[in-house]
Amino acid sequence: MKSVGYSDLYEKHGTRIICQLCRHYCQLKEDQIGLCGVNKNEGGRLKNLVYGKVSALNIDPIEKKPLYHFLPGSSALSLGTVGCNMQCPFCQNWQISQTSELDTSTEISPKKLVALAQEHGCQTIAYTYNEPTIFYPFAKDIALLAKKQGIKNIFVSNGMETPEMIEDMQGVIDGFNIDLKSFDPKYYKKYLKGSLEGVWDTLKRLVQKGFWVEVTTLIVPGDNDGDEELHKIATFIAEELNVSVPWHISAFSPNYQVEDKSYTPLSTLQRAKEIGQSHGLHYIYMGNVLSDGSTCCPQCHTTLIEREGYTVTENRLKEGACPVCQREIEGVWR
C-alpha cells in the first residue's frame, strides 16, 4: 500500500523520476519540485506537498462549475489547494493557483471531507479553484471514499491530464469540465504555458473512455474572439468529440495581469453561440452574463431545464428523456 501523500504516477529514469501527473512530464532530481510547485522527488518517490492542505472549501451549485448536464440543481462540495501547471495571465483564482506557499497550520483528511459532503447533502465533490491534476493523489483518496458513500466526483480542469492519469481515473472520477482556452498552439505555449495538443488529446481520450465531459471557453477580447478561431473550436467539439458535448462560452472580466482589456460584450457571446449552432452543437450555454441558461431538447426544442443564474427553477426531464418526444438527453441525471 502506498504511503499517504505519495503518488504512483511517476516513472524512474536513472537518478531522476518523471512525474506523470500532467503533460509537462517534469524530470525531477532528488528534492526537486515540478513546475506546478507542489510535487517533489522525495527519496526517489513522487511526494504531493499539498496533500490534506485545502486552501479553498465551499458548497456550490453544480451549475457554477459549470456543469449543466450533471445532476442539475444539486450541490457540490468544492475544494482546491495551491499551485498550477499553467500560468494564465487572466486567472480568476490567481491568489491560490499562482503560488506554492503552503498553509501548514491546518490539515483536513479525505475522510473528514467526505463526511462534510454527507453532512451538507452534497451529491458530488468537485476538485476545482486551482488545477486538480496537480493534487490528484489527494483527490483520488477523497474520491474513492466518496464513491463508497454514493457521492460522485468531478474535475474542473485545464485539460493537462496525462494518458497515464486518465487510465487511473476510470472508476474514480465521474465527470469533467475542461477548459479549451484557445485554438492557437503558440498562444497556449507562450501566454498560458500549456499544451494545446495535450488538451486536444485529453478531451478525445476522456470522451472515448466514456467520462461525462463539458467544455468551457473563456472569450477574451482580442485573444480568441475572432470568427475563424471560434469556428475551429466548434468544429473540434462537433467532429472530434461529439455534438452533444455541452459548450460553455464565458465572458471575460479584467483580472490578475490582464486589466487593460474590456469585458466581453454580450454580442460576442451571442456570435459564438451562433457559430456553435452552425456546426450542429446541441447544447451551448453563455456564462458570466445574465442570459437564458435553459437546456432544450435538440429534437423538438421543448425547454427541459430552466435556470435563473446558477439556480434550477424547473426540471421537466423524465428519467433523462424529453417528456414530449422521448428523446434521451445526454448527461448524468442520477
Q: Check whether 255 has a pLDDT greater than 90.
A: no
| Per-residue pLDDT, 83 | 94
CB contact set of 301 (below 8 Å; sequence gap of 6+): none
Span of 37-51, 90-104, 157-171 with lowest mean pLDDT: 90-104
Residues 307 and 278 in one domain: no
The mean pLDDT value for 204-216 works out to: 98
Residue 245 lies in a domain: yes
Q: In the chain, how long is the greatest CA-to-CA distance?
A: 63
Per-chain mean pLDDT for the chain: 96
Separation CA 7–CA 3 (nearest Å): 8
DSSP element (H, E) containing 45: strand 45-48
Sheet of 75-80: strands edge to edge?
Answer: 56-61, 75-80, 124-127, 152-157, 175-179, 212-219, 247-251, 284-287
Structural domain count, the chain: 3
Residues 330 and 275 in one domain: no
Q: CA 318 → CA 70, 274, 295, 303, distances in Å?
A: 15, 28, 14, 13
Residues 193 and 274 in one domain: yes
The mean pLDDT value for 100-115 works out to: 88
Residues 203 and 133 in one domain: yes
Residue 224 lies in a domain: yes
Q: What are phi and psi of 255, to 5 degrees?
A: -160, 155
Q: Tell me the pLDDT tens digit for each residue of 215-237.
A: 999 999 999 999 999 999 999 99
Band the pLDDT of 2: cuts 50, 70, 90: low
| Per-residue pLDDT, 1 | 47
Residue 197 lies in a domain: yes
Residues 214 and 319 in one domain: no
Residues 143 and 31 in one domain: no
Residues 286 and 317 in one domain: no
Residues 285 and 298 in one domain: no
Residue 250 lies in a domain: yes
Residues 272 and 323 in one domain: no
CB contact set of 274 (below 8 Å; sequence gap of 6+): none
The mean pLDDT value for 253-261 works out to: 88
Residue 128 lies in a domain: yes
| Per-residue pLDDT, 314 | 97
Residue 1 lies in a domain: no
Separation CA 168–CA 9 (nearest Å): 9
Residue 252 lies in a domain: yes
DSSP element (H, E) containing 267: helix 266-278
For residue 3, the tally of other CB atoms under 10 A from its CB is 7
Q: Check whether 177 has a pLDDT greater than 50.
A: yes
Residues 12 and 98 in one domain: no
Query: By residue range, what is the domain housing residue 322?
Result: 294-334
Place of cell 421543448: 302
Residue 171 lies in a domain: yes
The mean pLDDT value for 106-129 works out to: 96
Residues 217 and 74 in one domain: yes
Residues 160 and 301 in one domain: no
